[in-house]
Structure 1
Amino acid sequence: MDRIAEFRKWKVQCLSKADLSRKGSVDEDVVELVQFLNMRDQFFTTSSCAGRILLLDGGINGFEVQKQNCCWLLVTHKPCVKDDVIVALKKANGDATLKFEPFVLHVQCRQLQDAQILAVRSTHGLEVPLIHKGKLMVTEEYIDFLLNVANQKMEENKKRIERFYNCLQHALERETMTNLHPKIKEKNNSSYTYKKQRNQEKARSQCITKENVKELENDDDDVGINITIFPEDY
């Protein structure tokens, strides 16, 4: 069996399995994106989250919160209000942490060139401890402030999903057109080679300043995508 046939078989097997997430289904805000990827021959998704605000109780294990060892006091994929958090905090027994987790998408890719289209990252998150050993360590006013921040991140997260989806559609359309017209592909490759050479020459003539390094470390304009290339030994 060739690699393309093996990938198709693996895709069918994975997509036929039940959704193993706590919710048991794909989040509404990413359903269209997930379906779009799974309809492409070169991709299939293994898990996803549209972004969420959650409150975790780590029990007696301190701040080393792990999903399998903690209690989910509250989880929502929509903007959250303070009253819901206050009620949920009353159930905490150990160290409770408020988190915002941005959009995450895990994708299996048939080959490297397919994965390069999806190679983006994000640091658009939030994690703040609220309770330590059952004692509330912050004021309700501060909780209200944190929720405003988390809700703003949730709204920005939705915009990033839309932006990523639109960019992905355009990128795959260009790839399809390039494959259909070899002369365009040859022209694009020549242009890419020329630009790459110019960039390499420019890089050799410049030094990266501390400010540049800091800017790169703080760059969080992209959504978070985890990509796996189809393994050779599958």
Structure 2
Amino acid sequence: MAAFGRWKAQRLARADASRKGALDERAAPVVRLLNARARFCTTSSCAGRLVLEDAERRGAPKKGCEWLLVTHEPCRRDELMTALEKATGDVVFKFEPFVLHVLCRELQDAQLLHSVAIDSGFKNSGITVGRGGKIMMAVRSTHCLEVPLSHMGKLMVSEEYIEFLIHVANRKMEENTKRIDRFTRNRISRRAKEHEDQKAEETPICTKTNLFLYVHMIISAIIHQICDLITFMFSVRLIGS
């Protein structure tokens, strides 16, 4: 328990190391919802994005590629074609769906979150236990898209096909958004159920406590009355003698 608290404090104190340097707006609600719970800590997330990647562009950052275009919103044909004009190498058009990694305090917490993810459409979600006992739950799905468009700067497909790809990718983005919203709603409803279950578990304890006090009061009153009666009878006996 204490170790998890330290891990969470250290993680939340770190600066965002992603290229964007900030939390994706669409992922923010569920990330904040989870981090507000003592049992969870998000370590990385991406709300889902459309990427036009040049794998051979000179001066590219790490991993030898450069993003000619990246957006977390549906893509337009004109912005994709404009970005393609910058291509000098092998360009790939990608749709990468929502992904979220959550450090969990206990295995049962990870299992609970995993069931919420599966029910929300993230069928590729999974749980891993790493060194030091860290329990990680990954929320992810398989509705990706990755299509090569150019080779050595030369466009290898027609503009008509590009329009078709944009349509497919945008539909995937829309479905991705629905799944994120569903995951957030399901997590909130599961949280409400946990609260109700906790109250249900506490209620019998309170009832037993109240019943014990009530019985104790009755017994005390009876004993007190018996003592008074014995005292009275003893007094009458003394007077009679």
1:177 aligns with 2:174: no
Q: Equivalences for 1:93-108 in 2 at 5 Å?
A: 93-108=88-103
Shift of 1:178: 2.4
Tell me what 1:14 maps to.
11
Q: Does 1:153 align with 2:148?
A: no
> Which of 155, 159, 163 is the equivalent residue of 1:140?
159
**Equivalent residue, structure 1, for 2:23:** 26
Structure 2 length-normalised TM: 0.69
Distance 2:86 2:171 in 1: 26
Q: Distance in 2 between matches of 1:67 and 1:143?
A: 27
Q: Distance in 2 between matches of 1:26 and 1:124?
A: 22
Residue deviations 1:184-219 (CA, integer Å, cap 9, x gap): 9xxxxxxxxxxxxxxxxxxxxxxxxxxxxxxxxxxx
Shift of 1:181: 2.8
Q: Bigger radius of gyration, 1 or 2?
A: 2
Q: SS state of the match for residue 106, structure 1?
A: strand
Q: Provide the residue aligned with 2:74 in structure 1.
A: 79
User: What is the Cα deviation at residue 70 of structure 1?
Assistant: 0.7
User: Per the alignment, in what secondary structure is the counterpart of residue 118 of structure 1?
Assistant: helix
Number of residues of Structure 1 aligned to a counterpart in Structure 2? 176
Per the TM alignment, residue 78 of structure 1 is displaced from its structure 2 partner at its CA by 0.7
TM-score (norm 1): 0.71
Stretches (4+) displaced over 6 A: none
Q: Cα deviations across residues 20-42 of structure 1 (Å, max 9, x unaligned)?
A: 11111111111111000000000
Per-residue CA deviation, residues 104-151 of structure 1 (Å, 9 max, x unaligned), is 111101111000122232111111110122221101111111001111
- Residue identity matched to 1:116: Q
Q: Distance in 2 between matches of 1:116 and 1:105?
A: 15
1:1-234 equivalences in 2 (<5 Å): 4-59=1-56, 68-119=63-114, 120=118, 121=124, 122-182=141-201
Identity across the alignment (%): 55
Relative contact order: is structure 1 or structure 2 higher (C-alpha 8 Å, sep ≥ 6)?
1
Task: Give the drift of 1:153.
Answer: 1.0
Cα offset, 1:180, TM superposition: 3.6
CA distance in 2, matches of 1:182, 1:32: 29
Q: Deviations over 1:77-122 (max 9, x none)?
A: 0111111111111222211000011111111011110001222321
The 2-side partners of 1:71 and 1:44 are apart by 30
**Larger mean Cα displacement after TM superposition, 81-90 or 38-47:** 81-90
CA distance in structure 2 between the partners assigned to 1:67 and 1:127 by the alignment: 20
Contact 1:117-1:168 within 8 A present in 2 as well: no
CA contact (8 A) 1:82 1:147 kept: yes
Matched to 1:108, the amino acid is L
**Aligned amino acid, residue 47 of structure 2:** A
Q: CA RMSD in A?
A: 1.9
Distance of aligned partners of 1:67 and 1:182 in 2 relative to their CA distance in 1, 3 Å threshold: farther
